[in-house]
A = this chain, B = another copy of it.
């Protein structure tokens, strides 16, 4: 059975090109392109022949050639401050799964500051990514490059404060988070609450702090100025704060009940871990004497004793929305806010 001219460049190696497939299927390269890219509805004999030939030759499109001609790279750019940061890592995992479904791939840029992130944006744009997803570094002002590139490709900003009418934004509804946290505590009998806030980008923290006080008032809960404070997201900080708040031990708590909160809201699981250690040291029981809520639902939250109630960022939804907004194109920017999920565990419920 003599092969047609040009039919086979060692069938099985990956170096087959569209002309080989076309020759083997006895159609033109144009038809092959149309069939394989789904631009041709029918599933007739021709379509089957093309697909058969393609798989026989182990053919896959040359992305470079395709991108050159069609300006579609099937590549999504993702810029994050660091892969070791929890939200970024989770988003990476979720996004990778989603984009793979559409046989797209993630091109990664990592930058901890404004300058580096801007540079990465430029690099990725130079590669003609089909979309850009960005978690801005803490304190970075990316307004200018965002504005500039938004005209060329859809951009989705995840979290952060900087609003732009050209780029989309998907963020966590921190106010809802605070509301559901307080509501949960109230429903389990809490009367007074302390808040160990995060200190970083001040505006965001300040807003949350205000929301905390709003919730305190609306549920008629007690709090005190010197209970609440801004600070780092470390175990150490949680430990010190809890020691300061509860340091006198159990006996004295009963003497002066109102001088101590019966619940602690922490800006981060790590802070909660520290507080748990401190309470354990002091001899106060969780949740009987003090209830604790963390933030982030770190993997370690399920391994403490008791397990830590925590707010889980809606990363799956964030990824899905980001994906959707990019598919929608640069013309229709939207701002979306998603509430986290309160994962209730032993640190706020008895039994």
Q: Which residues of B contact A110 (CB under 8 A)?
A: 92-93, 96-97
A108 lies within 8 A of B106 (CB) = yes
Per-residue B-contact encoding for A56-87, CB less than 8 Å = 1, 0 else: 00001111110110000101000000111010
A254 within 8 A of B: no
In the complex, A106 Cα to B127 Cα: how many Å?
12
B236 lies within 8 A of A303 (CB) = yes
Contacting residue for A270 out of B64, B89, B128, B300, CB 8 A: B300
A147 within 8 A of B: no
User: From A129, which residue of chain B is reached at the shortest CB distance?
Assistant: B105
User: From A90, which residue of chain B is reached at the shortest CB distance?
Assistant: B84
In the complex, A185 Cα to B239 Cα: how many Å?
28
A327 within 8 A of B: no
A83 lies within 8 A of B73 (CB) = no
A305 within 8 A of B: yes
User: From A65, which residue of chain B is reached at the shortest CB distance?
Assistant: B68
In the complex, A36 Cα to B337 Cα: how many Å?
45
Contacting residue for A82 out of B64, B93, B100, B152, CB 8 A: B93
User: From A125, which residue of chain B is reached at the shortest CB distance?
Assistant: B14
A128 lies within 8 A of B64 (CB) = yes
User: From A152, which residue of chain B is reached at the shortest CB distance?
Assistant: B14
In the complex, A84 Cα to B65 Cα: how many Å?
34
User: From A82, which residue of chain B is reached at the shortest CB distance?
Assistant: B93
Q: Which residues of B contact A38 (CB under 8 A)?
A: none
In the complex, A97 Cα to B111 Cα: how many Å?
9
In the complex, A120 Cα to B106 Cα: how many Å?
12
In the complex, A82 Cα to B88 Cα: how many Å?
12
Contacting residue for A280 out of B65, B120, B280, CB 8 A: B280
In the complex, A309 Cα to B92 Cα: how many Å?
30
Q: Which residues of B contact A60 (CB under 8 A)?
A: 126
Q: Which residues of B contact A239 (CB under 8 A)?
A: 305
Known A84-B90, A277-B280: A107·B106 in contact at CB below 8 Å: yes
A124 within 8 A of B: yes
A330 within 8 A of B: no
B83 lies within 8 A of A105 (CB) = no
A235 within 8 A of B: yes
Lowest 7 A-B CB distances belong to which pairs? Answer: A64-B67, A83-B92, A235-B303, A64-B68, A83-B89, A96-B110, A84-B89
21 contacts between A and B (CB under 8 A): A14-B152, A60-B126, A61-B126, A63-B64, A64-B128, A82-B93, A83-B88, A83-B90, A83-B92, A92-B108, A96-B108, A105-B109, A105-B123, A106-B108, A235-B303, A235-B304, A277-B277, A277-B305, A280-B280, A280-B281, A300-B300
Given A97-B110, A100-B123, A235-B303: 16 more A-B contacts, CB < 8 Å: A14-B125, A14-B126, A61-B126, A64-B64, A68-B68, A82-B89, A83-B93, A84-B89, A89-B89, A92-B108, A105-B109, A105-B124, A236-B303, A277-B277, A280-B280, A300-B300
